[in-house]
Amino acid sequence: MRLHRNLVFATIDALSEIFNEGSYADKVIEKTLKRDKRWGSRDRSFIAETTYDIVRWKRLYSEIADVKQPFKREDLFRMFTVWAVLRGIELPDWPQFAGTPERRIKGRFDELSKTRKYRESIPDWMDELGEKELGADTWTREIKALNNQAPVVIRANRLKITPKDLVAVLAQEEIETHNLKNYPDALVLKERANIFKTKAFQNGLFEVQDASSQRVADFLDVKPGMRVVDTCAGAGGKSLHLAALMENKGQIIALDIYGNKLKELKRRAKRAGAHNIETRSIDNNKVIKKLYNSADRVLIDAPCSGLGVLSRNPDAKWKLQPEFLDKIRETQQQILQQYSKMLKKGGKMVYATCSVLPSENQKQVEFFLNSDEGKDFKLLKDEKILSSDSGYDGFYMALLEKK
């Protein structure tokens, strides 16, 4: 690989904004990629992937480069140099790379790799918490898996096309995919590509959705004609899947505390041809109360630490704080206590998170079942999906029934 000056400089600029100004990596990369219209797909993927890589390995690379935050421009070049040397990429004859101590970099890497928190490049608190909650062996495996680059998985929108036909349609647009065993609607891309530009996407034939996330709507056991409340619907990844499973029949009420996310949901629903989703913003308690005892199915895709999706969001390693986790656990329990009231007798509810921590998952369900609100519920089954077992995002889902 030959390094191109304008691409490396764009990467350094992006890193400076992410690390020093606290901006979100995905937003910064999106903005950076718009900077030069002449950049082709390889140039764009160099910037995006290198930036994500250095964000992912921030702690390890900054230790090796012996630099500390806030990073000066020359510090970011030193981290970039570590990235290049460890990948065996030849450094060009630029002043920024003069006198690079290649052997020292490799030696430091070998030494630091003996300690998990450096090897896996995570904050101390996260390493301690992971080990405490999952045990040393499982955490060691899991955090290694969560550092892999996530594959691009899409969900065929059965309202418009079968997964088999979608493979053929995408092949016509030169996107190679294959179906995934045990995930009925999922396709995996053989190579990363900007699929949002395809006609297939614009015509609503698929959505980008990780394989583990695609299990959640299936888990809820919906049928056409039911009344389903998706309580934390966000931009609607699961609502859209539910609409497809319900063949557009019945009613899906999509709730969230953020109206802008629901607006995006509406746009996506239109593209997908999903006609049975109604959005309601939770502006006050009345919105919830009006729905008490009314739903055949309730989905709680709860806000969480996102520790199961570090592969696609490595930035979260540095943005997450232990205090946020304490707060989010409280919110999760409040949501369970309150939103479960929307379910009819005999109805079913799924509590799901994209976290691998038992304290956000099975412990929350246990606490709920032992509480006053939960005494009429029973746990039918649950699934703990580790990224190290599945190869996809870490997830948890529990199916509960109201007696």
The footprint of ligand SAM (CB under 6 A) covers: 231-238, 255-258, 261, 282, 301, 303, 331, 335
For residue 14, give Cα distances in angstroms to 47, 61, 91, 207.
9, 16, 20, 27
Q: Which is nearer to ligand SAM, 144 or 358 (CB)?
A: 358
Q: Which residues contact 76 (CB under 8 A, 6 or more apart)?
A: 12, 15, 16, 19
Q: Which is nearer to ligand SAM, 261 or 266 (CB)?
A: 261
**Chain-centre distance for alpha carbon 399:** 21
Instruction: Give the shortest CB-364-to-ligand SAM separation in angstroms.
Output: 14
- Choose the catalytic residue: 82, 170, 217, 354: 354
Instruction: Give the shortest CB-71-to-ligand SAM separation in angstroms.
Output: 31
Radius of gyration (C-alpha) of the chain in whole angstroms: 23
Q: Which is nearer to ligand SAM, 5 or 27 (CB)?
A: 27
**Residue 75, marked binder:** no
CA distance 136 to 286: 45
**Residue 389, marked binder:** no
CA distance 352 to 330: 15
Q: Identify the CA nearest to 124 among candidates 306, 316, 317.
A: 317
Instruction: Give the shortest CB-214-to-ligand SAM separation in angstroms.
Output: 10
Amino acid at 217: A
Decide: 81 and 100 in contact? Cβ < 8 Å: yes
Q: Which is nearer to ligand SAM, 303 or 314 (CB)?
A: 303
For residue 283, give Cα distances in angstroms to 28, 124, 280, 318, 339.
30, 38, 9, 31, 15
> For this structure, is 304 an active site residue?
no
**Residue 283, marked binder:** yes
Decide: 306 and 256 in contact? Cβ < 8 Å: no
Q: Which 3 state secondary structure label does DSSP give 129?
A: helix
CA distance 92 to 160: 50
- Annotate 205-253 with DSSP letters as a single string: SEEE--TTTHHHHHHT---TT-EEEETT-TT-HHHHHHHHHTTT-SEEE
Cis check: omega of the bond before 70, within 30 degrees of 0? yes
Residue 206: strand pairing partners = 156
Instruction: Give the shortest CB-41-to-ligand SAM separation in angstroms.
Output: 27
Instruction: Give the shortest CB-193-to-ligand SAM separation in angstroms.
Output: 22
Instruction: Give the shortest CB-13-to-ligand SAM separation in angstroms.
Output: 30
CA distance 300 to 233: 8
Amino acid at 401: E
Decide: 238 and 301 in contact? Cβ < 8 Å: yes
Annotated binding residues for S-adenosyl-L-methionine: 256, 283, 301
Active site residues: 354
